[in-house]
Structure 1
Amino acid sequence: MNIHPLPLFLVGLLGSVHCAGMCGGIVGALSLAPPRARTGVITLHPTRSAGAGVHVAAYNGGRIASYMTAGALAGGLAQGAATMTALPAAQAAACWLANLMLVALGLHLMGAWSGVARIERVGQLLWRHLRPGLARIGPPDTPARMFAAGALWGWLPCAMVYSALVTAMLSGSAGAGALTMLAFGLGTLPMMLALGLAGVRLRAWLRLLPVRIACGAGVLAFGLLGLARAAGGLPASWLQVICVAPGMAP
């Protein structure tokens, strides 16, 4: 089953305003300069060196790798259940769920509904088991440790990621699910790279209500179009490119 990568990329791009609130401070802190060996104390301080860029890239590489792993698991789960193509009712339900979550995320970004926080509590059980691993990684002073930290933070409970994972299930295979989440992760990448390098100033700009309303409206539109298509109220041809929904197999 085909899942067009463009809507997942755009959802990641617009929805990354949500990432700024959840992960902006994290990636900003992790991308600071490595500890000063002379004192033996970890002293984090901002830097604009090339090393900071490498650290930010490594962190985001780990984060996207965890998205792809989750996507492969989601797609493989659907494939193991005799594939979603053999389960039209389950496929339709997953399509509705993915787009309803986008509607919820869009409303959350616009400040119109806070129910997304309750959705994200679902993932807290897994996150409580994974978070202690950050201490075992050690100080984020090498690209390898930054990659490992990003791979763990990628499992932070996030409704936007959950909606993308439901779409990955619609892909019907582990490989397609991983590629679906890669498209989503690449959409979040510009914002996360900018947050890692620009930090506080960018986060302050992203908190402005007009910015959040504009981005939220974009995510909301994706969700509403997907719901309209799922309900059969809109043609499937050109909407396949912009709706978070499965297309026809080639």
Structure 2
Amino acid sequence: MYITALLVGLLGGVHCLAMCGGLAGSITMGLSAEIRSRPSRMLPYQLAYNLGRILGYGVAGALFGGLGALLVQLDALQIGQRILYGFAGVMMVLLGLYLGGWWRLLEATERWGRALWRRLEPLARPLLPVRTIPRALAVGLIWAWIPCGLVYSVLVTAIATGSPIQGAGVMLAFGLGTLPNLMGIALLAGAAARIAERAWVRQVAGILVLSFGISMLWRLIPWMAWPFDL
């Protein structure tokens, strides 16, 4: 599950560039001209921002993993785990279709998350422009909660673990997978974004993530035999 989360973060990076690229770029633009003149000087700020963002994902994963543990306890243990696992597989299928541009249903989850973001976004304003590394870290922690269908789909997988520790691990692995793309857009200007905008790149990513979802659902088929014996 951790490897899948890592790969989803890496493949879903084409979506990260669209959703979070501007945020990562704003950190760069808030730095002094002297720091921006050399990528090596910008690197600590971008690393701090992304560390905060990944830690924020880990916190969310722990919370949702704890929710999954509660849901499993409310139902028969094995049945509850299978329902959550199946739901995670469906979300992966929807994510693959979303990344490939074939079906945008997952955008609805981003609309639902905007209510939460409206409460969190004002917390980031006093930290902008980013002038220090601790500020970059704090901004990353807050921006981890930006409405994003990609993040929400992996959070469902965190719920399916039924464990706060495993849920945090899933989201940390996902966050590490997104790191190359967001670091790339910050340090390589628009080159990474131009690559991600190509339809075939998004479609390849969509097909691969779609295959993860289908694989999860395929593994669920033997579990569906009554009376739900493994």
Separation in structure 2 between the aligned mates of residue 172 and residue 84 of structure 1, nearest angstrom: 12
Pairwise CA distance, 1:86: 4.6
SS of the residue corresponding to residue 185 of structure 2 reads helix
Pairwise CA distance, 1:45: 9.1
The structure-2 alpha-carbon separation of the partners of 1:104 and 1:48, relative to structure 1 and needing over 3 Å to count, comes to farther
Separation in structure 1 between the aligned mates of residue 166 and residue 211 of structure 2, nearest angstrom: 25
In structure 2, what residue type is equivalent to 1:109? L
Matched, 1:78 2:68: yes
Quick one: which of 27, 31, 53 aligns to 1:30?
Answer: 27
% of aligned pairs identical? 40
Pairwise CA distance, 1:87: 3.0
Unaligned runs of 5+ in 2: 224-229
Pairwise CA distance, 1:187: 1.0
Separation in structure 2 between the aligned mates of residue 45 and residue 167 of structure 1, nearest angstrom: 39
Unaligned runs of 5+ in 1: 37-43, 234-247
Number of matched pairs = 224
Quick one: which of 6, 11, 21 aligns to 1:9?
Answer: 6
Matched, 1:213 2:203: yes
CA offsets 1:91-135 (integer angstroms, 9 cap, x no match): 222212212121112112211111121121111111110011111
State how 1:192-203 maps to structure 2 within 5 Å. Answer: 192-203=182-193
Pairwise CA distance, 1:81: 4.7
Separation in structure 1 between the aligned mates of residue 21 and residue 35 of structure 2, nearest angstrom: 16
The structure-2 alpha-carbon separation of the partners of 1:45 and 1:116, relative to structure 1 and needing over 3 Å to count, comes to farther
Quick one: which of 75, 82, 85 aligns to 1:92?
Answer: 82
Pairwise CA distance, 1:90: 2.7
Separation in structure 2 between the aligned mates of residue 168 and residue 6 of structure 1, nearest angstrom: 13
The structure-2 alpha-carbon separation of the partners of 1:137 and 1:83, relative to structure 1 and needing over 3 Å to count, comes to farther
Taking structure 1 as the reference length, the TM-score comes to 0.82
Cα RMSD (Å) of the superposition? 2.2
Quick one: which of 96, 101, 107 aligns to 2:97?
Answer: 107
Deviates further, 76-85 or 57-66: 76-85
Q: Tell me the equivalent position of 2:215.
A: 225
Separation in structure 1 between the aligned mates of residue 30 and residue 116 of structure 2, nearest angstrom: 30
In structure 2, what residue type is equivalent to 1:142? T
Separation in structure 2 between the aligned mates of residue 199 and residue 50 of structure 1, nearest angstrom: 14
In structure 2, what residue type is equivalent to 1:90? G
Q: Tell me the equivalent position of 2:152.
A: 162
SS of the residue corresponding to residue 185 of structure 1 reads helix
Pairwise CA distance, 1:53: 0.8
CA offsets 1:10-36 (integer angstroms, 9 cap, x no match): 111111111011011211221235247
Larger helix share, 1 or 2: 2
Taking structure 2 as the reference length, the TM-score comes to 0.89
Pairwise CA distance, 1:206: 0.6
Do 2:127 and 2:139's aligned partners in 1 also have CA atoms closer than 8 Å? Answer: yes
Quick one: which of 172, 184, 194 aligns to 1:204?
Answer: 194
Separation in structure 1 between the aligned mates of residue 6 and residue 126 of structure 2, nearest angstrom: 32
SS of the residue corresponding to residue 132 of structure 1 reads helix
Do 1:109 and 1:216's aligned partners in 2 also have CA atoms closer than 8 Å? Answer: yes
